Amino acid sequence: SFFCFDRLSNLAYNPWFIVQMAQKNIVVVGAGVAGLTSAYLLSQTRQYNITVAAKHMPGDYDIEYASPWAGANYMPVSIRDTKAADWDRDTWYALEDLARNHPESGVHFQGASVSNQMTCRLTIFRECEILSRDKDSQSATAEWFAELLSPSPWFKHVVPDFRILPTDKLGPGIQSGTIFTSVCINTAIYLPWLLSQCVKGGVTFKRASLEDLTDALAFGSQGKVELVVNCTGLGASKLGGVRDTAVVPARGQIVLVRNENGGKMVNLSGTDDGDQEACYVMTRAVAGGTVIGGSYQKGDWNPEVDHELAHRIMRRAVKACPDLTGGSGKVEDLDVIRHGVGLRPVRDGGARVERERISSGWVVHNYGHGGAGYQSSYGCAQEVVRLVKEVTSANVSKL
Ligand code: FAD
């Protein structure tokens, strides 16, 4: 009505203007899964005006950018009754919702569809198998995977269909196993999807290589920056104002192939090729290929593909998953799309999700997620939103 138009044209009465006036400027540093998920959840609150500033963005492939290299899947290794387990638990519900209701995000239940001609019903097998060999029980990998390999992990009541694999379903050399519904995230689709959700929510993106965390203060799009969210991953070990010496790389090498594994996601307790090597296979959504891995080489910064390691990765995968090569078991029958190397941002003592007062204001940190950046992403970003609300509330901002 004319009355409304008249009122809205008067800025003093314009509710949108009032919201904008009250908006707090936040700069999120980093556009990996941690930064994008934080910005996405923050953008759901109209109170914030958010800019993401980062050296690497979705679409880039770089050794300083871990997120594109991940498989990625949901296989929690966090220990029961820890914050990390809470973050992983909370993340499951968000990822399950994406797989069920938003397939355009590139998140899918790992599985094959089979229609039953008698009932005309479609059954979805969502299989994720965790297989254990007795000989790995004393290895460093088995220690790292302790919760994942347990017959009764904390997440057995979180993920659907958790059960123990019957002995007659175990392959040669495997002594025990579990099976449950899980998801695989096609990072090539999911990172741009997250970015587009942010853009839809009004987030601005800027390329920036920061020397010091306080450089982020220059990147607010409207006025004074109230708060910085630090999601710099491994970069937190070098960034001025942070330089966290507890953050180190755990090198992961993978091979992306065109072959498929009958919809099964598989993870083994260890390999015969040393503690720093792993064996896992997962098929990405929307014809994204199959990721086979891998390695966990702590302290190794080497960005180059190690071709001998790549051969061992492929040899182990065709042995563990004969379906990959139609039963031939030959590495030459793998059709390679690309080899990849990524550095997981491991932090001794666990990820840092907390607030810190620095001379120029408040920082909320969200980095150091090691090999769990996706499977903990929503839990951690929800914690970021809680901390940001705390810091921007009148009481705390005066501290
Ligand atoms: P990153 O993705 O590295 O992003 C860091 C961001 O900060 C980038 O945008 C970068 O440009 C920016 N930045 C850093 N320093 C600066 C600076 N000084 N100035 C400006 N910008 C800066 N996780 C799972 O949950 N499930 C899996 O199955 C899984 N599999 C993996 C397999 C491999 C081979 C690898 C390598 C990792 C895997 N991970 C997995 C781990 C996961 O990839 C990481 O935990 C996650 O990607 C970390 O995200 P991040 O946003 O913290 O860091």
Shortest-distance atom of ligand 1 to CA 280: 28
Least-confidence region, from 18-32, 75-89, 169-183, 301-315 = 18-32
> Ligand 1 test: best mutation among 344, 346, 383, most atoms within 8 Å of CB?
344
- The model's pLDDT over 80-98, given as tens digits with 9 standing for 90+, comes to 999 999 999 999 999 999 9
Q: If you average pLDDT over residues 128-143, what whole number do you get?
A: 90
Residue 179: per-residue pLDDT: 95
Residue 277: per-residue pLDDT: 95
Q: If you average pLDDT over residues 291-317, what whole number do you get?
A: 97
Closest CA to 155 of 131, 187, 132, 130: 130
Distance, CA 273 to ligand 1 centroid (Å)? 26
> Ligand 1 test: best mutation among 38, 55, 89, most atoms within 8 Å of CB?
55
Label residue 17 by pLDDT band (50, 70, 90): very low
Residue 138: per-residue pLDDT: 87
Can you tell me the distance from the alpha carbon of 213 to that of 365, in angstroms, rounded to the nearest whole number? Answer: 11
Label residue 23 by pLDDT band (50, 70, 90): confident
In angstroms, what CA-CA distances link 93 with 87, 159, 293, 336, 386? 11, 9, 26, 33, 18
Q: If you average pLDDT over residues 134-151, what whole number do you get?
A: 89
More confident residue, 337 or 123: 337
Ligand 1 neighbourhood includes 198 CB (under 6 angstroms): no
Closest CA to 268 of 144, 90, 156, 92: 144
Residue 360: per-residue pLDDT: 83
> Ligand 1 test: best mutation among 232, 254, 364, most atoms within 8 Å of CB?
232
Label residue 399 by pLDDT band (50, 70, 90): low
Least-confidence region, from 17-26, 193-202, 257-266, 282-291 = 17-26
> Ligand 1 test: best mutation among 27, 28, 33, 60, most atoms within 8 Å of CB?
33
Label residue 398 by pLDDT band (50, 70, 90): low
Ligand 1 neighbourhood includes 367 CB (under 6 angstroms): yes
Burial 85-117 (b: 16+ CB within 10 A, else e): bbbbbbbbebbbebbeeeeebbbbbbbeeeeee
Can you tell me the distance from the alpha carbon of 329 to that of 327, in angstroms, rounded to the nearest whole number? Answer: 5
Ligand 1 neighbourhood includes 241 CB (under 6 angstroms): no
Residue 381: per-residue pLDDT: 98
Tokens of 378: 């929503």
Residue with the smallest CA separation from ligand 1 atom 45 is: 373
Q: If you average pLDDT over residues 342-351, what whole number do you get?
A: 97
Ligand 1 neighbourhood includes 31 CB (under 6 angstroms): yes
Ligand 1 neighbourhood includes 145 CB (under 6 angstroms): no
Asked if 388 contacts 26 with a C-beta cutoff of 8 angstroms, the reply is: yes
Shortest-distance atom of ligand 1 to CA 370: 45
Q: If you average pLDDT over residues 64-73, what whole number do you get?
A: 97
Distance, CA 187 to ligand 1 centroid (Å)? 11
Ligand 1 neighbourhood includes 295 CB (under 6 angstroms): no
Shortest-distance atom of ligand 1 to CA 239: 18
Residue 142: per-residue pLDDT: 82
Shortest-distance atom of ligand 1 to CA 368: 52
Residue 56: per-residue pLDDT: 98
Ligand 1 neighbourhood includes 235 CB (under 6 angstroms): yes
- pLDDT surpasses 70 at 336: yes
- pLDDT surpasses 70 at 112: no
Q: If you average pLDDT over residues 290-309, what whole number do you get?
A: 97
- pLDDT surpasses 80 at 114: no
Residue 126: per-residue pLDDT: 62
Distance, CA 322 to ligand 1 centroid (Å)? 31
Residue 8: per-residue pLDDT: 43
Ligand 1 neighbourhood includes 69 CB (under 6 angstroms): yes
Ligand 1 neighbourhood includes 216 CB (under 6 angstroms): no
Ligand 1 neighbourhood includes 368 CB (under 6 angstroms): no
Q: If you average pLDDT over residues 226-245, what whole number do you get?
A: 97
Ligand 1 neighbourhood includes 55 CB (under 6 angstroms): yes
Output the pTM of the full model: 0.93
Closest CA to 108 of 182, 29, 207: 182
- pLDDT surpasses 60 at 341: yes
* pLDDT averaged over every residue in the chain: 90
- Strand pairing class (290-295; 352-358): unpaired
Label residue 118 by pLDDT band (50, 70, 90): low
Residue 3: per-residue pLDDT: 38
Ligand 1 neighbourhood includes 66 CB (under 6 angstroms): yes
- pLDDT surpasses 90 at 235: yes
Ligand 1 neighbourhood includes 32 CB (under 6 angstroms): yes
